[in-house]
Structure 1
């Protein structure tokens, strides 16, 4: 019940700021005094001022390692400069008592192709096993509930240079070269050639492509507006770590792919599926492998595990239960026509099925941590009833198949949902 009260208090504090706008394009915010424009910019995650637009993501967050995490950050707007921007933040974790920050900026090299050259220096935390796409910086979700439950992080100090390039609104690319010093916050060693690495250096080059072939748009006075946000959408990213380049310790490569497809049945009902694939090859530490998006807290009872459901996360899969060097996940959600009791109360039923499969070579290299693999295939299904009250709803998910647990209640996840669109 302690978790239930914590989540209730937390959401009451940040309800106005943490509206969810998944798969919505980020627009670089501009100065405006109109309430409509202001609301749109807040929906995109920014609160605009004359020269600086505050990024609302940094105001307040919560996770199991830092506790409450709060700070300020943002980016300069066109009133400051149309060709140069400063993009930085500073935050503080109240449980780990540590400041984190980013100092960054960019210069517009190609106005027509929105070609920005960016540099950054980051001292922060990253979730172990996470794998983000560079081009995801162009989509924005105010609130990812799964962040509340993450406990396994590694510290990283990263210097990076990147370049964004828009071939056209349907095809976006980004490349990055980054040098990182990585120190896990948990007891972990990666053993390679009889050397146990408790911390390590990486030098990684990445290239990512976001392709939305069915997007329909028009350009008026140099501004591009989306007419139809078509599906499917495709994202591909290749990463290469170079050993002995700027003191890097490991050689490995990663290939990540994601596609999102949406089938609209009518104006009130649709089905959306997300397929994710990942492959890591070479001497890859746990920090850079895959965890399949778990979202179940490692606690004894259902009520103690009561938290908030994520968007594409596995609600019955416990944190740090599985890791893979190659994996695939499929998440399918069917949105049923809302139940219209009146103009204000229109809850919506969502049917959900998730599947994950994966495996790992050389498990013995990862010491002081224990985990399983997904070689037998992991399955869970359930439903959500969204928008019951102020955007809150409930979800029920059941774990079955090869990884069904002996204790029946451990196969059940009962959680809040939170869905608001500005």
Structure 2
């Protein structure tokens, strides 16, 4: 618990220090304008998670993190920028976990074959950890926070050594695509066996092909020089991803299919308030091990009292759902948030109230295939509601959530999640 709070403090302190970088004041008006542009560009890069150093952009994601398996994880990584080449790029990282005492790394690169459609062919080799049950979309634009709240408490990881080739292609300004073929050697770091046809696998090889599409039909764009920039981030947005696992291809052990979908809707109100709705769904069929199935992004640790479970609330996680409580081969979640207009108590103190409701539903057909780990089915509606009061002090706020409905627990305290939040804008 102490290590977790130290990690939160260190990362948050670094975040606040970077966010408070002042704009230098020059006497000459032209220099002021230039400095403002440079600072705006610098903060934009920082907000995207990069620190430009010449022809190389240092990736801030790898500087310091903390989780239950690796403890503190620190390292360096980055990607070359246009000063290096507008056609070629090289990226990679190397990190070290102090608790598991292992190095992890990735090396890759890409070549742009068409500038108009921003088509890139990429290659990568990665030896790292991944959270079991997590699911991501290839086409997601880079999402960066100075620390990831859920990561502090995750303990269920699997090691993967993955070789991948992918093609990024902009079909139109509104439609982005990415196709990837990869082979992976999977080794769970926990006690797990996948039983299939009287054979038990505790390590396995997987070869997959993925196609991901991101459609933003209501966003608006304009040409700025030789670049297309977003002038209006329109809603709703839709993302679809199809995954196919191939048995016996490059030694792969399983044949399975997955379909993942997400849509995000946002309503802007006249009083500076807004409402967001996020629907996520996924289904997996065939011979799918637990590593490639789904959880509903839980964010509650298994401790006896509310204060022992006090940690950091996530951005889109279920705060009252315990880690490793549910796994599913098909699931859907709906999250509703209403952001009230910030309370302007002073120019620097503007806390904001957010009302939140979350719902999840899923199922698991063949629990008996997954041995060595205990979990529940999510075949009834999971419900939680609560609120956040954000930006009370230096970006910190408070969060409260209550679990009710089909999965309400007998002990009243076990249904409550009381945490703090961290939100800061660059």
TM-score of the superposed pair, with normalisation by structure 2: 0.93
The corresponding residue for 1:99 is 103
SS of equivalent residue, structure 1 residue 134: coil
Partners of 1:37 and 1:394 lie apart in 2 by 31
Q: CA deviation at 1:107?
A: 0.3
Correspondences of 1:150-299 after superposition (within 5 Å): 150-266=154-270, 268-299=272-303
The corresponding residue for 1:384 is 388
Partner residue of 1:344 out of 317, 341, 348:
348
The corresponding residue for 1:15 is 15
SS of equivalent residue, structure 2 residue 376: coil
Partners of 2:18 and 2:298 lie apart in 1 by 21
**1:147 matches 2:151:** yes
Partners of 2:271 and 2:228 lie apart in 1 by 25
Gaps of 5+ in 1: 20-31
Correspondences of 1:43-192 after superposition (within 5 Å): 43-192=47-196
SS of equivalent residue, structure 2 residue 402: strand
Is contact 2:106–2:127 with CA below 8 Å preserved after alignment? yes
Partner residue of 1:333 out of 334, 337, 344:
337
- Structure 1 vs Structure 2 CA RMSD: 1.6
Partners of 1:144 and 1:112 lie apart in 2 by 34
Given the superposition, is the C-alpha separation of residues 339 and 137 from structure 1 closer, same or farther in structure 2, using an over 3 Å criterion?
Answer: closer
Q: CA deviation at 1:84?
A: 0.3
Gaps of 5+ in 2: 20-35
Q: CA deviation at 1:37?
A: 1.2
SS of equivalent residue, structure 1 residue 34: helix
Given the superposition, is the C-alpha separation of residues 389 and 179 from structure 1 closer, same or farther in structure 2, using an over 3 Å criterion?
Answer: same
SS of equivalent residue, structure 2 residue 295: coil
Is contact 1:394–1:415 with CA below 8 Å preserved after alignment? yes
Given the superposition, is the C-alpha separation of residues 89 and 3 from structure 1 closer, same or farther in structure 2, using an over 3 Å criterion?
Answer: closer
Partners of 1:339 and 1:250 lie apart in 2 by 54
Q: CA deviation at 1:267?
A: 5.4
Is contact 2:313–2:421 with CA below 8 Å preserved after alignment? yes
Given the superposition, is the C-alpha separation of residues 218 and 164 from structure 1 closer, same or farther in structure 2, using an over 3 Å criterion?
Answer: same
Given the superposition, is the C-alpha separation of residues 236 and 8 from structure 1 closer, same or farther in structure 2, using an over 3 Å criterion?
Answer: closer
TM-score of the superposed pair, with normalisation by structure 1: 0.94
SS of equivalent residue, structure 1 residue 371: coil
Given the superposition, is the C-alpha separation of residues 314 and 186 from structure 1 closer, same or farther in structure 2, using an over 3 Å criterion?
Answer: same
Given the superposition, is the C-alpha separation of residues 176 and 18 from structure 1 closer, same or farther in structure 2, using an over 3 Å criterion?
Answer: farther
Given the superposition, is the C-alpha separation of residues 411 and 247 from structure 1 closer, same or farther in structure 2, using an over 3 Å criterion?
Answer: same
SS of equivalent residue, structure 2 residue 275: strand
SS of equivalent residue, structure 2 residue 16: coil
Partners of 2:137 and 2:256 lie apart in 1 by 17
Question: How many pairs are equivalent?
Answer: 410
Is contact 1:280–1:289 with CA below 8 Å preserved after alignment? yes
Partners of 1:219 and 1:142 lie apart in 2 by 31
Is contact 1:7–1:307 with CA below 8 Å preserved after alignment? no
SS of equivalent residue, structure 2 residue 269: strand
Partners of 2:117 and 2:241 lie apart in 1 by 20
Is contact 1:210–1:234 with CA below 8 Å preserved after alignment? yes
Partner residue of 1:414 out of 403, 415, 418:
418
